Amino acid sequence: MTVPVTGVSPEQGDLGPPGRQALRLFIRNKAAVFGLVLLTAIVFMTLFGSFFYDQDPSRIIARPLQGPGEGDAPALGTDYLGRDVLAGVVNGGSTSLTVALVAVLLVAVIGVSLGAISGYYGGWIDVALMRVTELFQVLPALLFAMVIVALFEPSTRSVAVAIGLASWPQTARLTRAEFLRLKNLEFVKAARASGASDFRIIWRVIFPNALPPLIVSITLIMGAAILFESGLAFLGLGDPNSQSWGLMIGLSRQTFLNGWWTVTFPGLAIFATVLSFSLIGDGLQDAFNPKLRGR
Amino acid sequence: MNHITARVAWSLGLILAVIVMCFSLIHLAPGDVAIVIAGDSGAGDPEVIAEIREDLGLDDPFLVQLGGYVGDVAQGDLGTSYRFNEPVTELIVTRLWPTFLLVGTAVSFAIVLGVLVGVFTARRPESPVSHGVTVFSLTGYSMPVFWTGLLLVIMFASNVQWFPVSGMRDVRLEGNWLEEWIDVAHHLVLPAITLGVIYLAQYSRLSRASMLEVLQSDYVRTARAKGLAERRVVYKHALRNAVIPVVTVAGLQFGQMLSGALLVETVFNWPGLGRLAADSVFQRDAPVLLGILILSSTLVVIINILTDIVYRLIDPRIRVGGPSQ
Amino acid sequence: MRKRLLALLAILLSFAMLAAACGDDDDAGGDAGDDMATEDDSGDDMDDEPAEDDDESTADMSDVAEEAEGSDAGDSGAVDTGPVAGGTLLIQSTQVPRHLNGTVQSGYATAVPGTQLNASPLLFDENFQPQPYLAESWEIADDGLSVTLNLVQGAVFHDGEPITSEDVKFSLETSQANHPFKTMFAAVSSVDTPDDHTVVINLSEPHPAILLAMSPGLLPIIPEHVYNDGQEIKEHPCNAGTDCFVGSGPFTLAEYEAGSIIRLKAFEDFFIADRPYLDEIIIEIVPDPASIVIGLENGDTDLSATLGGAANVVRLQENDDVIVTADGHAAVGPIQWLEFNLADPALSNVVVRQAIADAIDREFMSDVLDLGTTFPATTGIHPGSPFHNPNTEQYGAGIEAAQARLADAGIDPSTISLAIDYIPVSGSQLAYAEYIVQQLQDVGFDAEVNTLPDFPSWAGRVAAGEHQMTVNNVWNWGDPVIGVHRTYLSTNNVGVIWTNNTGYNNPDVDALLAQAGAEFDFDTRVDLYAQAQEIINQDVPMVYLNTPPFWQAFQPRVQNPPIGIWGQLGPMHEVWLAE
């Protein structure tokens, strides 16, 4: 469930990170900063939240399905087992974020490597690698991931691997496009002329200039990975020993009519997290491409 | 034409690769379908499980099974469902239309409304409406589709009962075709909105961006300079050029839409392919699962080819070098 | 930009408020209903387990009061007018049948439509007494080695062909060869058909339970002229094909869409005159119990027994427009328990098991976790059965008692690690497992829940004896011989789920069960089973948790709802709709 990045960056020109200018533009973008703040808050809650609110999310603490503020129910109510919804929200992020992080790492490593090699060398290597990319791209992502997770037993690792495997083609394409664009520019020719090795040219020369759109894409893929993970967990393919937001919603499916809070708050958490990544990604895109700003 | 032929030929090979990969994945992975089937019957003796394995040919060598399967698929035989004992093709065909209806409606709604909104806001890019569109597009994309669906169910199940929240039709209804269509449409509203919102969010933003770009282009400036009416300029020329990216993106997202449909069908009990696919994963119903994976991939490939063709027809200036672009 | 920001915050806030405002008003903290049951609402079928052969003289199963199954919120839908013909009954169910041929397929999902489509030799009343159905009379030989059925005259299949003794013979032999409950008819040595309407079943040993085995859900009579064509019957196209399915029951198969809907139309030439009352029964398969609840509440759905958990049951109980009852399905007899793997070194010590049993408060589980929808269970025989022994040793004395027990035996709980499994995808069993783990931790054990992703994983693990303890849900199937013996007989530790997975081995119990299973005299049987239950409760191979009734909800207009001993697993030819 990845989103196409609209608006590829225009000619970047030569070496020299556009970083500083982009950073300035980013900071001035209020929505992007809001996203960053939101994400920081969420990560903080995930990492340290349990120090401040140390209720065990898997422990039964009160009567099932009590609404927020009802009886002796905690702040956000209890779920169908009598567990604390707030504790679940506070602790649920770690699974989702961990899975997303690992998945995105996988996507980055596989996608960027394949795309870089493909774009740089061209020829039959390009054709072959692109065929492999296409193979993974035509598979229905969610179903494919479900198959992998179901067959290899749901766990944080299998879910992350499944998401990674289902999501890398787009990054490969993007990287390849960037490399195709950049490899014939002057500064690259110069590097080649000076006798640099292929490896050095790819990673030290071209890759840093391909970074901006890749960073944007990776940020957006983080958000997509979180949606992906929560979707899988919702369907029942999350790590059963963890407490992810998607899993909370999925488990409450049969009883949610009796307790809207059991699905609303975990969903809000997912929404907020993905939104923060979207805002940041958006902001980065605007920062790297000032011409396209204001869309 | 040659390019297209080559493309089609390659696509067939691609589908074969999909078949082999998925078959291998499912059959070599742990998880015994015989236990599931036996579990259905009350998990009888080990005899029963052994019988099941034999009936289904699960003990044959892997390559034999693979070869047999590929051969069957080539003849249009997708095998028999382990769970339902019915031909997979029949099962899929029954479920295909509801999914098609759901996805088709959602996407059409998203494209049409998205383009309209994009066009409207492109003319007033700094208006509150335009800002609203931006916000909506970000939030719409960030909301998990199953969560949106559940919220709608909560809203419409208990408090405001305008739309049914489950199923595709009222099974009791025995009316004429018009009444049946209205019944289905009634059931279609919530699931289609749930699925469509995600794409509406993207397309409204995308079409606005495209419109903005087109409106500032030389072509339009010239037309304006010639004094053509604003309306004609906008709606006739700019529109067509702005719609193209939206339709292209929609075509590329077809695969995602099936994933979204799977989740929406689960939330709303919509009897489509997505739900069948999800069930077949949990029931280890390998033939059905394989059949859907293959069908889905094939559809994506076909749509890609079609998008390719349409793209070339609309703008032959664009050099389409194959799937890599 | 600022506008964007504010709009964003507004949207986030309004979502939260919207959901809050539009959320359901019901707080199903719920009052406790009288009866308790949770359904095992897993996506997997509500399945039964292999039936052992039962020796059951059903003539002795009299006065089975359904004490544990009292109904609660009134059967107040009854009307005074007589039955009226006509109408369509819409049943919604979460259970998906594989096909509709009950001779080769067991399970709830097949039996609900299957018993409408096919008749059987006998029906059973609320006292477990056999009643005429396709067999208008029957005799058991004095030596108990044969049963003679006299079939009703003039009964025909849906295609007009007469139902004869050959069909009964064929159905029984088919079941014997293919039905997963291998021991149901294992004692049948041969079937004779002296004439078209007489069937003689010859037994290799006395087997009184043969009568119960002729219930609609266990022995549907299928047409020999349709199925005996050399095709493998388990994959026979007529098992679910609308164009060729032929049955013997009160309803015909009008439409069948695998996994979605089954439409049944009244059979005009049914052998019971003026039956069925209903014109049509529609069984709609809805995977999500919440949708079924909605359908019941707004009057669209007439009947359902798959309500999906305690919260939904309570919610419906509080709704005046819907009748909710725990009556019915007594013959099924589901029990939930926590069973131990006696091969585990820590758990092989009975003191440890007794301590664990003390730590579990069953009343709390039923009242709070199950919101009052289940009953605490005390033995492995369902309280609705006449063989239930209400006076056995019980535990549940509390955490301190458990700790005292361990201390007296010199056992330090902190040295023992325990993991509890449970049937996955089941919400209520996860609750039990979590609760039990908490209690065990309070006693001092090192305990945790082991969650598996799906049913096959769990079944495989338990069958292979890889677990330490697991929550389980096992059905009695009416006579103890069918559904109870298999759990305790030391000879039945065969590495398959729902057999003797604990490894329990007590020769005294083995002898008692064997004797009770071959005993004709009712009172002797009651006494034998009572003794067995006493011993078992002292040995504690499992801790009995509760009995989850099959809660059913239906509209007031549904008359004669299926609340007999087999519930919906029986023909609904007597059901009618008042309008």
Per-residue 3-state assignment (H helix, E strand, C coil) for chain A: CCCCCCCCCCCCCCCCCCHHHHHHHHHHCHHHHHHHHHHHHHHHHHHHHHHHCCCCCCCECCCCCCCCCCCCCCCCCECCCCEEHHHHHHHHHHHHHHHHHHHHHHHHHHHHHHHHHHHHHCHHHHHHHHHHHHHHHHCCHHHHHHHHHHHCCCCHHHHHHHHHHHHHHHHHHHHHHHHHHHCCCHHHHHHHHCCCCHHHHHHHHHHHHHHHHHHHHHHHHHHHHHHHHHHHHHHCCCCCCCCCHHHHHHHCCCCHHHCCHHHHHHHHHHHHHHHHHHHHHHHHHHHHCHHHCCC
Model confidence at B308: pLDDT above 60: yes
DSSP 3-state of C156: strand
Output the pLDDT for position C510: 93
C29 contacts in A (CB within 8 Å)?
Answer: 63-66, 70-71
Which residue from A3, A142, A282 is facing B262, i.e. has the nearest CB? A142
When scoring B146, B166, B319 by the number of chain A Cβ atoms within 10 A, the one with the most, hence best to mutate, is: B146
Give the pTM.
Answer: 0.84
Q: Where does residue A14 rank: exposed (0-12), middle (13-18), buried (19+ CB within 10 A)?
A: exposed
Q: Read off the pLDDT of each residue in A68-91 and give the average, rounded to a whole number.
A: 85
Q: What is the pLDDT of residue B268?
A: 92
The Cα-based distances of A257 to B153, B157, B282, C24 in angstroms read 9, 8, 25, 6
Q: How far apart are CA A255 and CA C264, in angstroms?
A: 31
> Do residue C495 and residue B46 have CB atoms under 8 angstroms apart?
yes
Q: How far apart are CA A53 and CA C134, in angstroms?
A: 66
Smallest CA–CA separation between B239 and chain A, in Å? 17
**Buried b or exposed e, range C372-394, using 16+ CB within 10 angstroms:** bbbbbbbbbbbbbbbbbbeebee
Is it the case that residue A283 has pLDDT exceeding 60? Answer: yes
Cα distances from C97 to residues B168, C41, C100, C553, in angstroms, run 20, 15, 7, 21
Q: How far is C214 from chain B (nearest CA, A)?
A: 18
Q: Is C498 on the interface with B (CB under 8 A)?
A: yes
Cβ contact, residue pair B86, C258, below 8 Å: yes
Residue A166: which pLDDT band, with cuts at 50, 70 and 90? very high
| DSSP letter assigned to residue C213 | G
Determine the residue type at C320. D
Confidence band of B321 (pLDDT split at 50, 70, 90): very low
Q: Is the ipTM of this complex over 0.95?
A: no
Whether the CB of C500 is below 8 Å from some CB of chain B: the reply is no
What is the pLDDT, as a whole number, of residue B45? 57
Nearest CA in chain A to C21: A260
Cβ distance of A150 and B209 shorter than 8 Å = no
> Residue C100 and residue C109: Cα distance in Å, rounded?
9
Pairing of strands C469-475, C542-547: unpaired
- Rounded Cα distance, A20 and C66, in Å: 79
**Helix axis angle, B254-268 relative to A207-235, nearest 10°?**
20
Predicted pLDDT of residue C243: 86
Q: Is some CB atom of chain A closer than 8 A to the CB atom of C471?
A: no
Average of pLDDT values for A155-161?
Answer: 92
Of B158, B202, B212, the CB nearest to A295: B212
C437 interface with B at CB cutoff 8 Å: no
Per-residue confidence in pLDDT tens, chain C, 579 aa: 455 555 555 555 555 455 444 433 333 333 322 222 222 333 333 343 333 333 333 333 333 333 333 334 444 566 777 888 999 999 999 998 988 999 988 888 999 999 999 999 999 988 778 899 999 999 988 888 899 999 999 999 999 999 999 999 999 999 988 887 777 788 899 999 999 999 999 998 887 778 888 999 999 999 999 999 888 888 888 888 888 899 999 999 999 988 889 999 999 999 999 999 999 999 999 988 888 999 999 888 999 999 988 889 999 999 999 999 998 888 888 999 999 999 999 999 999 999 999 999 999 999 988 889 999 999 999 888 888 899 998 998 999 999 999 999 999 999 999 999 999 876 788 889 989 999 999 999 999 988 887 777 788 889 888 999 999 999 888 778 878 888 998 988 877 788 899 999 999 999 999 888 777 777 888 899 999 999 999 999 999 999 999 999 999 999 999 998 899 999 999 999 997
Per DSSP, what are the bridge partners of residue C420? C449, C469
Number of cross-chain residue pairs from A and B with Cβ atoms under 8 Å apart: 156
Q: How far apart are the first and last CA of chain B?
A: 18
Residues of chain B contacting A140 with CB distance shorter than 8 Å? 255, 258-259, 292-293, 296-297, 300
Mean pLDDT score, A96-112: 94
Q: Any idea of the CA torsion for B256, B262, B263, B265, to the nearest 10 degrees?
A: 130
Among A31, A63, A256, whose Cβ lies nearest the Cβ of C1?
A31
Q: Are B58 and A179 contacting, i.e. CB atoms less than 8 angstroms apart? A: no
Cα atoms found within 13 Å of the Cα of residue C423, Cβ hemisphere only? 24
How far away is chain A from the Cα of B147, in angstroms, using its nearest Cα? Answer: 6
- Under DSSP, the state recorded for C52 is P
- What type of residue sits at position B92? I
Cβ-Cβ contacts under 8 Å, A139 against chain B:
18, 22, 255, 293, 296-297
- Average pLDDT for B151-168: 85
Q: Does C40 touch chain B (CB under 8 A)?
A: no
Q: How far apart are CA C151 and CA A249, in angstroms?
A: 55
> Cβ distance A285 to A216 under 8 Å?
yes
Within a 10 A sphere around the Cβ of B280, how many other Cβ atoms? 29
Instruction: Give the one of C5, C16, C26 whose C-beta lies nearest to A34's C-beta.
Output: C5
